Amino acid sequence: MSRPSLQTVGEAAFARCDRVSAELLALTYGTFVRQLLLDYEKVADVNAQLDAVGCNIGVRLVEDFLAKSKIAACNSFAHTADVIAKVAFKMFLGVTANVTSWSADRNTFSLLFDDNPLAEFTELPEQCPDLWYSNVLCGVIRGALEMLNMKVGCTFVRCKLRGHDTNEIRVSLHELLAEQPPQADD
């Protein structure tokens, strides 16, 4: 029997999720970003905070991801990239991304995606041209991969809200962490 494509795996995982309206998520997320813009003086701090809370979300999501996607392990960083783009994006956001622009050492790639449910119905506030509005996604990827023993850097480099032609997140593998031995119970 041939192995199902990652696209199919992503669709099956999405079907296994409880789902809510994307517009409700977009408006809830937008409300959160606005709150941070009130709370922090510098847009750079808002970007950092979005990344930090995203990391916490990623740490929480990864378990659900493994359970619903039924993906046991990735055998290479290239496989990891494809799983993020075709399965994780689909499962949580209902869209898929494309993996491109590998570095020569195969440690860095880009995720490109045109549809970004977080940023629907949104315009960047005029006074915040430096906001990476969807920066939470970088944190989510970073947090989830750290739970899988991959330390990565993750940065937005293009965002349609800034007038770019697509959305692009650059992901770099910094370190493969050693498996933690299971903790004794006492």
Query: What is the Rg, in whole angstroms, of the alpha carbon atoms belonging to the chain?
Result: 17
Does residue 117 bind a second copy (CB under 8 A)?
yes
Question: Which long-range CB contacts under 8 A does 42-47 form with residues at least 24 apart?
Answer: 43/128, 43/130, 43/131, 44/130, 46/128, 46/131, 47/130, 47/131, 47/132, 47/135
Binding window for a second copy (CB under 8 A); candidates: 114-122, 151-159, 161-169, 173-181: 114-122
Binding mask 63-82 vs a second copy (x if CB under 8 A, - otherwise)?
-x------------------
- Least Cα distance to 140 among 45, 44, 56 occurs for 56
Does residue 92 bind a second copy (CB under 8 A)?
yes
Binding window for a second copy (CB under 8 A); candidates: 12-20, 96-104, 165-173, 178-186: 12-20
Distance separating alpha carbons of residues 77 and 87, to the nearest angstrom: 15
Distance separating alpha carbons of residues 110 and 156, to the nearest angstrom: 9
- Looking at 37, 94, 124, 128, which residue binds a second copy (CB under 8 A)? 94
Rank residues 55 and 150 by Cβ distance to a second copy and give the closer one. 55
Binding mask 31-60 vs a second copy (x if CB under 8 A, - otherwise)?
xx--xx--x-------------x--xx--x
Give me 37's structure tokens.
Answer: 């813009």
Does residue 20 bind a second copy (CB under 8 A)?
yes
Rank residues 52 and 128 by Cβ distance to a second copy and give the closer one. 52
Contact 87, 71 (CB under 8 A): yes
Residues found near a second copy in the complex (CB under 8 A): 14, 17-25, 27-29, 31-32, 35-36, 39, 53, 56-57, 60-61, 64, 91-94, 117, 120-121, 136
